[in-house]
Amino acid sequence: MVKNIAVIRGDGIGPEIVEQALKVLNKVAELYGHTFNYTDVDMGGCAIDKYGDPLPENELKKCVESDSVLLGAVGGDKWNDVPGNMRPEKGLLRLRAGMGVYSNNRPAKIWKQLADASPLKKSIVDKGIDFIIVRELIGGIYFGEHKTENVDGKSTAIDILAYNEEEIERIGRIGFETARKRNKKLCSVEKSNVLDSSRLWKKVMHKLADEYPDVELSDMLVDNCAMQIVKNPAQFDVVVTENMFGDILSDEASMITGSIGMIPSSSLGATTCGLYEPIHGSAPDIAGKDLANPIGTILSAAMMLRYSFDMAGEADAIENAVSAYLDKGYRTADIMSEGMIQVGCEKCGNLIIENLRKV
């Protein structure tokens, strides 16, 4: 198959982790006889430096016209003082909205080899951690009006959190469908004791539940969910939640699996053209030092093959190679533990390629 992939290296550790993922994709192409064409796209701080805009129209166009987009990370201290609507992160938000990818899927799964890297007690980890956070990605407070103005002589900042029932319903469906393919348990997370948007969220989820009688729906307040994720993560199968709650809970969920550096994500909308990115940030403090863990990006590339290109075998091959690499005791700094062999970002990529076998 021939696939055209838009590649956003971005800022900080972005370029080095994306480089490893591309090496892995090239190896897959060689083993399976595919052709992957890459188109470089500038987004984030590097695009601000080059064009004065974190995502120029033409760069977005390259993404929308591709078969899917692979992204490293954007942002960094260098651009902290640029106005809010021109920050590197704004490029990412415009990309998500421009691609219409409303459904972000973030797995929280512990690799058996990394059980020791989890900060949770062994008795909790042993019960298993394997759930998915389905995060609404192009609505809510991230996309409401943001402004700072003078009110009664005081500088006042306003961020609007709005959801309409259609936006909730379409992400709700993804939640139910995802649960249907797994253990059929969906937990809808909101703050309905305080927020109107959450009360509508809950109402829509319950209406949808009638169409999915095989899926068990439960509700949980977001503060309780934050607690339950560390207390008893084994209770979760699929969590569906709004944009900002999903942002926060997915960082928490990643941490209990050992390292945020290991977690991939997929973002999809109405078409198969998806956006694939690790859930971590650009980590400017370790950029260029060959210290980053590229596995989140490599596994994001695997998700691209599985969900956008219908290449399940190829995706399995990548995941098996990551598992084999971990089995052999290799670890980047973020997941290093006693008795293991520490490797850098580039070596990690090379070792994963060495362990790639056609399945």
Question: Residue 247 catalytic?
Answer: yes
Binding segment toward Mg ion, per CB under 5 A, in 17-25, 173-181, 193-201, 244-252: 244-252
- The stretches of the chain forming alpha helices (DSSP H) are 14-32, 45-51, 57-64, 88-99, 122-125, 165-180, 196-209, 222-231, 243-256, 295-303, 312-327, 345-354
Catalytic residue among 53, 130, 219, 251: 251
Q: How many residues bind Mg ion (CB under 5 A)?
A: 1
CA gap 157, 151 in Å, rounded: 9
Min dist. Cβ of residue 265 to ligand IPM (A):
7
- Shortest CB 318 distance to Mg ion, Å: 23
Contact 125, 118 (CB under 8 A): yes
Strand-strand pairing, 154-159 and 146-151: antiparallel
Residue nearest to Mg ion (CB): 247
Residues within window 69-128 making contact with Mg ion, judged by CB under 5 A: none
Query: Nearest 10 degrees: CA dihedral of 58, 61, 66, 68?
Result: 100
* Annotation says 191 is catalytic: yes
Residues that bind ligand IPM (CB under 6 A): 75, 89, 92, 247, 279, 281
Q: Which is nearer to ligand IPM, 247 or 314 (CB)?
A: 247
Region of 8 on the Ramachandran plot (φ > 0 left; ψ -120 to 50 alpha; else beta): beta
The 10 Å Cβ neighbour count of residue 262 is: 27
Q: Is 223 a catalytic residue?
A: yes
Q: CA angle, 253 as apex, 252 and 254 as ends, to 5°?
A: 90
Chosen from ligand IPM, Mg ion, none, partner binding at 92 (C-beta under 5 to 8 Å by type): ligand IPM
Which of ligand IPM, Mg ion, none lies near 67, with the C-beta cut-off 5 to 8 A by kind? none
| Region of 88-96, 218-226, 246-254, 341-349 interacting with Mg ion (CB under 5 A) | 246-254
Catalytic residue among 77, 159, 223, 285: 223
* Residue 210 annotated as catalytic: no
Catalytic residue among 23, 42, 62, 142: 142
The Cα–Cα gap between 279 and 332 comes to 17
Minimum CB distance to Mg ion, residue 260 (Å): 9
What would the two tokens of residue 73 be?
């990370």
- Active site annotation includes 142: yes
Q: Are 21 and 352 in contact (CB under 8 A)?
A: no
Determine the residue with CB nearest ligand IPM. Answer: 89
Query: Rounded distance, CA 189 to CA 219, Å?
Result: 6
Q: How far is the CB of 251 from Mg ion (least distance, A)?
A: 5
Q: How far apart are CA 56 and CA 142, in angstroms?
A: 20
Q: Which of 247, 277, 314, 334 binds Mg ion (CB under 5 A)?
A: 247
Cα–Cα distance, 242 to 212 (Å, whole number): 20
Return the number of the residue (215 or 249) whose C-beta is nearest ligand IPM.
Answer: 249
Question: Which residues, 6+ apart, have CB-to-CB distance to 230 below 8 Å?
Answer: 120, 124, 252, 256
Least separation, in Å, of the C-beta of 302 and ligand IPM? 18
Distance CA 148, CA 139 (A): 20
Q: Which is nearer to Mg ion, 67 or 247 (CB)?
A: 247
- Scanning 198-206, 245-253, 315-323, 333-341 for contacts with Mg ion by CB under 5 A, the matching segment is 245-253
- Which of 42, 247, 325, 334 is labelled catalytic? 247
Instruction: State the catalytic residue, choosing from 23, 191, 325, 334.
Output: 191
Nearer to Mg ion, 136 or 247 (CB): 247
Residues noted as catalytic: 142, 191, 223, 247, 251
Query: Binding residues for Mg ion, per CB under 5 A?
Result: 247
